[in-house]
Amino acid sequence: MSIRILAIAEQKDGKLSNVSYELPTVAQKVGGELMTACLAENADALAAELVSRGGGKVLAISNPALKYYNDEVYTRVITELIKKYQPQLVIASATFYGKALMSRLAALNEGAMVSDITGVSADGDRVTISRPAYGGNVTMDVIGSDDKILFATVRPKVFNEASGDTGEVVAETVDSSLFDTRTTVKEMVVESGQSVNLMEADIIVSAGRGVRAPENVEMVKKLADALGAAFGASRAIVDADWTEYRHQVGQTGKTVNPKLYFAIGISGAIQHLVGMQSSKAIVAINRDKDAPIFKVATYGIVGDLFEIVPALIGKFEANK
């Protein structure tokens, strides 16, 4: 029996997030029948784009109430799709919206929930999902059961973006009462000071206590700008009020998985490593040659960051 998979595409301001294109790749690993839910104010164009990127049967639902993400409305509408199509596996990206949505869906549909998955496979009609545990030191396998829908959030940047144009758009209609809500989102306001989304960034430049003072954080941000990267931070400088919590990477912050991660003045406490050690390449800059960060670094630079970082900024800006 073919496994039925429902992927939940994520859109902001009428545009699909890059993480949405990674979900079809997850489905390919399972080898089942893929359906992708596309919810938006006007979903037709987005749905067509998803078909062109391997989204399979794209279930398009358009309504003004879907312009902005709303827990209550999205949960109701997707639950109707789940009842209709009876998927065994439901997947979404492990973003702020994805995590909030999937936990609600799992509870409402009496399913099993697995977060931040990094691998998936299938044996017949049985799905096995892999996720990091114990601070990323081990990988845990979770096997789906026959009597529960398996809901999973997929860690961004682990799977490649899909390609392929096989599929179709199916215009879905649901009862209008599902769009009634006690909460109305009027607008979404983007926070200033971060041009690249930390969770979706290919390159992240993070600062730690080694920058010594809050005014020196701007130097690290300048390097991030020179690279077209997102800015990250260790808990130490967030707790010291040198930067905002939204930049924090680590166990109590965001888990990231970029292609390139710069750790500048970060010692490498396990709480920070948990959030970034799966990065494809890690460049550590620290004057302490025995700093734990060098144990996970792909490249290590032992030296004064106040000399090294300005030199890197100059080099990258010159090559723009």
Query: Does residue 46 have a pLDDT over 70?
Result: yes
The CATH code of domain 203-318 reads 3.40.50.1220
User: Around Cβ 45, how many Cβ atoms within 10 Å?
Assistant: 15
Comma-separated ranges of CATH 3.40.50.620 domains in the chain: 4-179
Mean pLDDT of 287-316: 96
Residue 299: beta bridge partners? 283
d(CA 8, CA 90): 8
pLDDT at 130: 92
User: What confidence category does residue 240 fall into, taking pLDDT thresholds of 50, 70 and 90?
Assistant: very high
Q: CATH 3.40.50.1220 residue ranges in the chain? A: 203-318
Whole-number pLDDT of residue 252: 83
Cβ proximity of 270 and 295 under 8 Å: no
Average pLDDT of 95-104? 93
Contact status, residue 279 vs residue 205, Cβ threshold 8 Å = no
Q: What is the pLDDT of residues 123-182, one digit of tens each?
A: 888 899 999 887 667 889 999 888 899 999 998 888 888 887 778 999 999 999 999 988
Chain mean pLDDT for the chain: 92
Check whether 34 has a pLDDT greater than 70.
Answer: yes
Query: What's the whole-number mean pLDDT along residues 283-296?
Result: 97
User: Mean pLDDT, to the nearest integer, of 184-209?
Assistant: 80
Q: Would you state the pLDDT for residue 2?
A: 81
Least confident of 81-95, 135-149, 222-236, 271-285: 135-149
Q: What percent of the chain has pLDDT over 90?
A: 73
Tens digits of residue pLDDT in 241-253 = 999 999 999 988 8
So what's the pLDDT on residue 186?
82
pLDDT band at 45 (very low <50, low <70, confident <90, very high): very high
pLDDT, residue 194, reads: 56
Q: Which has the minimum average pLDDT: 111-115, 136-140, 149-153, 287-291?
A: 136-140
- 1/260: higher pLDDT: 260
CA-CA distance, 205 to 153, in Å (whole number)? 25
C-alpha angle with apex 78: 140 to 167, nearest 5 degrees?
Answer: 85
Structure confidence at residue 196 (pLDDT): 73
- Domain spanning 4-179: which superfamily? HUPs (3.40.50.620)
* 72, 77, 83, 85: CA torsion to nearest 10: -140
DSSP for the chain reads: -PPEEEEE--EETTEE-GGGGGHHHHHHHHTSEEEEEEEESS-HHHHHHHHHBT-EEEEEEE-GGGSS--HHHHHHHHHHHHHHH--SEEEEESSHHHHHHHHHHHHHTT-EEEEEE-EEEEETTEEEEEEEETTTTEEEEEE--TTS-EEEEEPTTSSPPP-B--EEEEE----GGGG--S-------PPTT-SS-TTT-SEEEEE-GGG-SGGGHHHHHHHHHHHT-EEEE-HHHHHTTSS-GGGBBSTTSB----SEEEEES----HHHHHHHTT-SEEEEEES-TT-GGGGT-SEEEES-HHHHHHHHHHHHHHT-
